[in-house]
Amino acid sequence: MPFSAVNRDSFRRACAKFPTGVAIATVNGADGAPHGLTVNSFTSVSLSPPLVLICVDHAAAVLRHFRAAQCFGINVLRESQRELSVHFARKGHDRFDGMEWTPGATGAPLLAGVLASLECVVEKTVEAGDHTIFIGKVVAAAAHPGRPLVYYESGYHTLG
């Protein structure tokens, strides 16, 4: 039985009912500069080996930096970091301008004060619709006390 795809608005409304954490994916570009963007399409894939994935929109200007990189970072935001999420989601500016960050063991940019950080070596990329999926093997991870920033029904929330 053939099925047609659900319309875009119905798909978005249904997906908005699934709360997600908010993270900033980061990478060092071939230009030597740090690059990143806000993502809520981040998930663990496997414990053995430790794998995660992120999805980057084909329209994102930073996509070329992720495609060229061997490593990337994931910075999981805490509930007080909504403005950081908004800053990395906006287009047309240097997202790292004025940001406190350090290079991790892989060289991936890690943001200061985040709830958790993961450094990943790119294992595989998959083209899927209007996004590229980056599957990364986690080679370093750190978690800190605190509560996450949550995205639900197209808005930011906290667990409190």
Q: What is the pLDDT of residues 32-65, one digit of tens each?
A: 899 999 998 999 999 999 999 999 999 999 999 9
Q: Please indicate, yes or no, if residue 102 is contained in any of the structural domains.
A: yes
Q: Please indicate, yes or no, if residue 1 is contained in any of the structural domains.
A: no
**What confidence score (pLDDT) does residue 40 get?**
86
Give the Cβ contact number of residue 139 at 10 Å.
16
Judged by DSSP in three states, 87 sits in helix
Q: Please indicate, yes or no, if residue 158 is contained in any of the structural domains.
A: no
User: Is-contact 131 58, C-beta < 8 A?
Assistant: yes
Task: Return d(Cα 38, Cα 52) in angstroms, integer.
Answer: 16
Q: What pairs with residue 26 in β-bridges?
A: 36, 73
**What confidence score (pLDDT) does residue 92 get?**
86
Q: Please indicate, yes or no, if residue 134 is contained in any of the structural domains.
A: yes
Q: Please indicate, yes or no, if residue 60 is contained in any of the structural domains.
A: yes
Structural domain span for residue 64? 9-150
**What confidence score (pLDDT) does residue 26 get?**
98
Walking along the chain (160 residues) 10 residues at a time, the average pLDDT comes out as 88 92 95 94 96 97 96 98 96 91 96 98 97 98 97 91
Whole-prediction pTM:
0.94
Write phi, then psi, for 66 (nearest 5 degrees).
-65, -40
Q: Please indicate, yes or no, if residue 4 is contained in any of the structural domains.
A: no
Q: What is the number of structural domains in the chain?
A: 1
**What confidence score (pLDDT) does residue 23 get?**
97
Query: What CATH number did the domain enclosing 77 receive?
Result: 2.30.110.10
User: Is-contact 28 66, C-beta < 8 A?
Assistant: no
**What confidence score (pLDDT) does residue 30 get?**
87
Q: Please indicate, yes or no, if residue 155 is contained in any of the structural domains.
A: no
Whether the ω angle into residue 2 lies within 30 degrees of 0, i.e. cis, is no
Q: Please indicate, yes or no, if residue 156 is contained in any of the structural domains.
A: no
